[in-house]
Amino acid sequence: MTESAKQSLMSKVIVCAAFINGFAIMAIELLGGRVLSPYFGSSVYVWGSIITIFMLSLSLGYLWGGRLSSRNPNPYTFALFFLLAAILSLPIIFLGEWTMTKVFLSIEDPRYGSLVAATLLYFLPICFMGMVSPYSIRLMVSSQEHSGRMAGLLYFVSTLGSALGTLMTSFYFVLWFEIDQIMWGVVGSLLFLAAAVLITHKIPVGDQPTKDSPVAAKQGAQ
């Protein structure tokens, strides 16, 4: 594979990652209301807590992701965001009830209870998912001239993903699956993205490749 072909493939992977990441954030957010409701109810303040924590996590994720992207941007760090987001989403599945019981017992007011529970369960994974956005822009932008265009494309794709993630989760997924099954889908997708980024990065690049050169074909098959 040529260097430019590989770069173009990596760009496609990054665009896909932005889409799936946006999708996953909103799927988790929508399920958050259902996760918290058995303990804190489904009042308007429970949604207030969830949206507050998601916005806060994303905003800090953007800030830190942007800072990280200015020093030696590389696909390993990028893949690490997805890996960590996936691992840090697991407590939502395994420790959710335990965490919420503890919070429920120690905080009487369901407004602050839901705020604390939402922080404990969602802050870290969503923060890492927020770091994806600025970092992916840095990885895609090769020249200043294109930066606005690339940022626009990535915003478009990730927000489109969020819109679809919201729609699919609220209209269909909750009807087809259990909450934990959907969460496993999210974790699986994030792990898949981490792997896709690393595999794409590891694709060997031929020195002087020509299309009909047997050497290049052999290398490509490896």
C-alpha–C-alpha distance, residues 33 and 87, integer Å: 21
What the block records as the tokens of 31 is 């399920």
CB closer to another protein, 96 vs 206: 96
Q: How far is the CB of 164 from another protein (least distance, A)?
A: 18
Enumerate residues 5-34 that contact another protein by CB under 8 A: 34
| 40 is a site residue for another protein (CB under 8 A) | yes
> Which of these ranges, 68-76, 149-157, 177-185, 197-205, lies near another protein under the rule CB under 8 A?
177-185
| 165 is a site residue for another protein (CB under 8 A) | no
Q: How far is the CB of 174 from another protein (least distance, A)?
A: 5
**DSSP secondary structure of 18-59:** HHHHHHHHHHHHHHHHHHHHHHH-SSHHHHHHHHHHHHHHHH
Burial class (CB in 10 A: 0-12, 13-18, 19+), 204: exposed
Taking CB under 8 A as the criterion, the residue among 179, 198, 203, 216 binding another protein is 179
What the block records as the tokens of 186 is 């999210």
Enumerate residues 67-126 that contact another protein by CB under 8 A: 104-105, 110
CB closer to another protein, 43 vs 59: 43
Listed residue (168, 153, 213, 131) closest to 12, CA to CA: 153
Taking CB under 8 A as the criterion, the residue among 6, 41, 60, 160 binding another protein is 41
Residue 13 φ/ψ, nearest 5 degrees: -60, -40
| 39 is a site residue for another protein (CB under 8 A) | yes
CA distances from 72 to 12, 67, 69, 75 (A): 21, 11, 7, 10
The residues of the shown chain that bind another protein, judged by CB under 8 A, are: 34, 37-44, 104-105, 110, 171, 174-175, 177-180
